[in-house]
Structure 1
Amino acid sequence: MTDTVGPRTEVLRTGPIRYATAERFGRPRPVPDDDPRPASGEIAPQPPSRLDFVMGPPADVHPQGEDCLNLSIATPARDAGARPVLVWLHGGGFSSGAGLMDWYDGGVLAAEGDVVVVSVNYRLGALGYLLLDGVSEGNLGLFDQVEALRWVHTHIAAYGGDPTDVTVLGQSAGGISVRLLILMELPEARGLFRRAILQSAPLEITARPAAESHALGRYFADALGTDPRTADLPALLAAQGETARHHLRGAGRRMEPAFIPVEGVGPVPAPGGPPGDGVRGLDVLYGWNADDMIVFMGEDDDAAVRTREVYEEPLTRHAERLARAGARVHAYRVDWRPAGSPLGAAHCLELPLLFGTRDAWRSAPMLGSTPREETERLGRALRSAWLGFARTGTFDGLPAPLTDGPVPGPS
């Protein structure tokens, strides 16, 4: 494996920075360069994560509010270095999480790889993905992500980054978002990144047909009992929770959120179409964790079978389509099972390795009794692989014990 990681240096952390503003249920608007207001530091309104039993509850607390279109930046220097840029889109089932959380501090990546790391907030739940006639057009969280990438394209040179050398990466719902960003045909979304990394993206639930989303939107409005445009946030979150329970009772799919991207609406293409011309020449790294589905298991589920059905097979099919359209694709699989953890190579396991934010992950049950030294050693190996891909578009695989055998890729 090519070692792209140099000695660790000090980094500058900047943020929160407001990259856009939006009225409730409106599309984001770029922030004028002369806007004097400081960023709020808010994250999207959200309930507690349903994966606290895997990741542990976050150690840091941020204010929640609708002025949440903020990002943070970690950079070795604000100079003319023209470094590769990594833009992170967090997971959380389109209903929880935030780029501003300490989990996703890009400082270690920036220092080890001499890169610029941008971590992005975007709207979640009903505020980001409600589809309801006369109220919300849907997919607003995806419009937020596009606006964040446009901000990076315009401003990142001032933070030591190269706007022509951007890798967008995301995990779980963030990985689904990366897939949709790849496929978007919006003129304003073109040319904003040259490489993409999809981590444990459950592509079988990428987007929902508009008719189903409309029905859930109407249920949400009935559960809310008042105008969504003026309701207070606790009421919105309560109705969102009731809609999620209704969806689970009807659909029976435990891991599928009530509010997700909608097919054929705004930036999301209709299903079944071929990838656009923008895919040609794109470098893509995708993969999954060997026991991803263990945290979403039903009573009669087999974790290995469901991981193959939900992650491996859809990701591989997607990679095959991208390769036929002219992308260069690479696959990985994380097989490492931490000592003392009953969760194995669970969903989210690669995150503390990727970010190296040890204190933020110190109470994560998925890490079991693994000594900090081992987590750091494996993290350096995984970060080296990701940074090498971000710099060159090549990927030499992961060493044992991160991976213990050949990884199936596109045929």
Structure 2
Amino acid sequence: MTPNQQNTIIFETRFGKILGLKEKGIIRAQSIRYAHSERFKRPVAVESSLSSIIISPEKTPVCPQALSPLVEKMIGATPVDRFEADEATQYLSITRPEIIAENRKLPVVVWIHGGSHEIGCGDLATADPAEWVKEQNIIVVTVSYRLGLFGFLGGNEKRLPNLGLFDMIEALRWIKNNISDFGGNAENVTLLGQSSGGDAIAHLMISEGVENLFQRVIIQSAPLGLRHKRQKMSAEFLKKTEFLKDETDVIKMMEEYGKYVPSVMKYGLKAAMPFGIQYGYPPLCKEEESEKKWKDNAKKYDVLIGLNNDETAFYLKTSEALNKYFGKGWGLKIMDKTVEKTTQFIYGAPAKRFAENYAEAGGNVYLFRIHSRSKDNHIGAPHCIDLPLIFGNEEAWKSSEMLKGIPWKYIHENGKKLRALWAEFAGTGKISDASERPEILELQKL
């Protein structure tokens, strides 16, 4: 890509000259490095550079990770040839409408991706915000940050914990300082996260160093039921992976750490997400102080929080081994009850409790639940079903096993209405009773 192409634009920002690519009504400035880091160290902000044009790298930087067979099956194959492993993966991408009215500053949504704090990146096609940006006239910033061993496991001076959170905070500071140069309103920033991304956002609300960096949050399918009493598990995992801390071959690191993942039998369901935020270390408080912190901050942030009705069907109903025994008859009834109970324990009850506590403390909070009204898919409304609804992009989802049998028209019609509601919340912190709801959505103001 070169600056003299007709389909490019150069943004003159206080950070530097940044090249953007025009495509089908939007402009995208991709893979801008907001910070850099040494292994297991806190991120350091990138200094502005006014002397040269910042051009996105040829391949998308991604934190080293092992591919998930389940994600590859249910969501779609990852085009690994388009990505380049980088353990200091502090990059963000900006997608905005091509035309913005003069002197108008648009609401900004910051996407924090999910993936169990272990996989993913900000620039996956299944979370491409182009459709949403064009429909709702908003700006979306997608953030990549350190994952797994590099970002969400620590506990001593040589391996600091919560580095992924520190990366996010550094990205938010960059956005605060620079987004107005792209037509965004730096005083109207909404964090949007799904799964572990939602978990991260909930904890950014009570982190040190985030004052005035965002105004509201949308938390989708956060596994808040797995956040409690993780200290012993994390310490064991840290100790068993100590021999990898100086390994120069990141591929070997990815191959090796999986042998030492904590046992679900020993630590319960929380071991299904072995990486995560760690209380009692910066930028977080102690675990027993967390609920009070959320209440103390209740008037700072508008909150939209919720889940999909059949979250754990993503894992349970897609297992060939389980379906062999529980795929029909009484077995299916047992499976359905297990999905209901585990969804409630990991996602439903914690989201409701979070919302109720927040409302009692005077916060502005909405609680939602996405249902399946389609008779064409036995999985229901599982984990990740909200992604095609929010981001659209039919081409990216065409191989998804999760959507098998569901007409894209159904996804698009419900998704367009959902995108409008989420954009309304991002713009104002409110959702009007008069705004049209998709049939799949249950929504209440607490």
TM over 0.5: yes
1:162-190 superposed Cα distances (whole Å, 9 cap, x missing partner): 00000001000000011001122x1x211
2:293 is the alignment partner of 1:275: yes
Tell me the SS of whatever aligns to 1:165.
Answer: strand
1:326-371 superposed Cα distances (whole Å, 9 cap, x missing partner): 3200011110254533321010001011001111111111112222
Q: C-alpha separation between the residues in 2 aligned to 1:248 and 1:220?
A: 18
User: Structure 1 stretch 66-75 or stretch 369-378: which is displaced more?
Assistant: 369-378
1:114-135 superposed Cα distances (whole Å, 9 cap, x missing partner): 1110011111111111214342
Q: C-alpha separation between the residues in 1 aligned to 2:195 and 2:436?
A: 20
1:286 Cα deviation from its structure 2 partner: 0.6
2:221 is the alignment partner of 1:214: no
Q: C-alpha separation between the residues in 1 aligned to 2:229 and 2:93?
A: 30
Q: 1:232 aligns with which of 242, 245, 249?
A: 249
1:218 Cα deviation from its structure 2 partner: 0.2
Identity across matched positions, percent: 31
2:281 partner amino acid: V
Partner of 1:23: 38
2:285 is the alignment partner of 1:261: no
Partner of 1:317: 353
Consecutive unaligned residues of structure 2, counting only runs of 5 or more, are 1-23, 323-333
1:303 partner amino acid: V
After superposition, residues 94-243 of structure 1 pair within 5 angstroms as: 94-184=117-207, 186=208, 188-206=209-227, 208-221=229-242, 225=243, 228-243=245-260
1:45-101 superposed Cα distances (whole Å, 9 cap, x missing partner): 111124333212235641122231111111014764310000000111011111111
User: Taking structure 2 as the reference length, what is the TM-score of the superposition?
Assistant: 0.82
1:56 partner amino acid: G
User: Structure 1 stretch 141-150 or stretch 230-239: which is displaced more?
Assistant: 230-239
Matched length: 394
1:27 Cα deviation from its structure 2 partner: 0.5
1:399 partner amino acid: R
2:403 is the alignment partner of 1:367: yes
1:262 partner amino acid: Q
Q: CA 1:119/1:255 → structure 2, altered by over 3 Å: closer, same or farther?
A: farther
User: Taking structure 1 as the reference length, what is the TM-score of the superposition?
Assistant: 0.89
Tell me the SS of whatever aligns to 1:286.
Answer: strand
Partner of 1:332: 368
Structure 1 or 2: larger strand share?
Answer: 2
1:295 Cα deviation from its structure 2 partner: 2.2
Consecutive unaligned residues of structure 1, counting only runs of 5 or more, are 1-8
Q: C-alpha separation between the residues in 2 aligned to 1:38 and 1:46?
A: 25
Q: 1:250 aligns with which of 266, 286, 298?
A: 266
Is the contact between residue 132 and residue 218 of structure 1 (CA under 8 Å) also seen in structure 2?
no
Partner of 1:52: 72
Q: CA 1:254/1:324 → structure 2, altered by over 3 Å: closer, same or farther?
A: closer
1:5-47 superposed Cα distances (whole Å, 9 cap, x missing partner): xxxx811111111111111111111111118575543111111
Tell me the SS of whatever aligns to 1:284.
Answer: strand
2:282 is the alignment partner of 1:286: no
Q: CA 1:338/1:123 → structure 2, altered by over 3 Å: closer, same or farther?
A: farther
User: Structure 1 stretch 172-181 or stretch 99-108: which is displaced more?
Assistant: 99-108
1:270 Cα deviation from its structure 2 partner: 1.3
Q: C-alpha separation between the residues in 2 aligned to 1:68 and 1:196?
A: 23
Q: CA 1:344/1:59 → structure 2, altered by over 3 Å: closer, same or farther?
A: farther
Instruction: Name which structure has the greater RCO, CA cutoff 8 Å, separation 6+.
Output: 1
Is the contact between residue 171 and residue 200 of structure 1 (CA under 8 Å) also seen in structure 2?
yes
Q: 2:437 aligns with which of 379, 395, 399?
A: 399
RMSD (CA atoms): 2.4
